[in-house]
Amino acid sequence: MANVIFYILAIIVLACGFMVVTRKNAINAALYLVVAMAAIAGLFAQLGSLFIAALQVIVYAGAIIVLFLFVIMMLNLKRDEFGFDSRLFQRLFGLILGIIFIIQLILIVSRFRPGLPAQAIDPAMGNAAAMSKKLFMQYLYPFEIVSVLLLAALIGAVVMASKRKDR
């Protein structure tokens, strides 16, 4: 039963991922991405990590893709508005990124050994509490760095927006 659910969810994720990269209409692509994210959340839930599943939906489906939709809907960019031959540039850039990605993938897969010991968190405390103990005790420094990263993103967004207003 668990296996069947896993394969169904995995197929949904892969199929939606395929649809995302093949759709011409950006809105449709973004919506398939939402379904893929929801299915990934389902995979997390199946692993018993409901907390991560909920975060997956809140952050990815509920925030990041909403941002994508906003950009797509508000700009409504046509292809000729980029000002240069975007298609050639996109293909070249996509090719380079794709090669890097494949190299990474090969490296990761080649290093993978089945039966690698996974460190389980203490289930007695419940998922979220155990996770936050790790996060706020052991990984304190990276956590604080995240806030600086978010600050940089915030300032970047404001600067970009005010530049557009000046024009």
Tell me which residues touch other proteins (CB under 8 A): 27, 31, 34, 41, 45, 50-51, 53-55, 57-59, 61-64, 66-67, 69-71, 73-76, 125-129, 131-133, 135-137, 140, 143-144, 146-148, 150-151, 153-155, 157-159, 161-162, 164-165
Question: Between residues 93 and 143, which has the closer beta carbon with respect to other proteins?
Answer: 143
Question: Between residues 103 and 140, which has the closer beta carbon with respect to other proteins?
Answer: 140
CB of 144 to other proteins, least distance (A): 6
Question: Between residues 58 and 102, which has the closer beta carbon with respect to other proteins?
Answer: 58
Q: Is 33 exposed, middle or buried (0-12, 13-18, 19+ CB in 10 A)?
A: buried
CB of 87 to other proteins, least distance (A): 21
Tally the C-alpha atoms within 13 A of residue 16's C-alpha that lie toward its C-beta: 18
CB of 132 to other proteins, least distance (A): 4
Question: Between residues 59 and 107, which has the closer beta carbon with respect to other proteins?
Answer: 59
45 phi and psi, to 5 degrees? -60, -40
Alpha-carbon gap, residue 36 to 47, rounded angstroms: 17
CB of 108 to other proteins, least distance (A): 26
Q: Which residue, chain included where needed, has tokens 């093949």?
A: 22
Given a contact cutoff of 8 angstroms between Cβ atoms, the answer to whether 26 and 77 are in contact is no
User: What is the chain's Cα-based Rg?
Assistant: 20
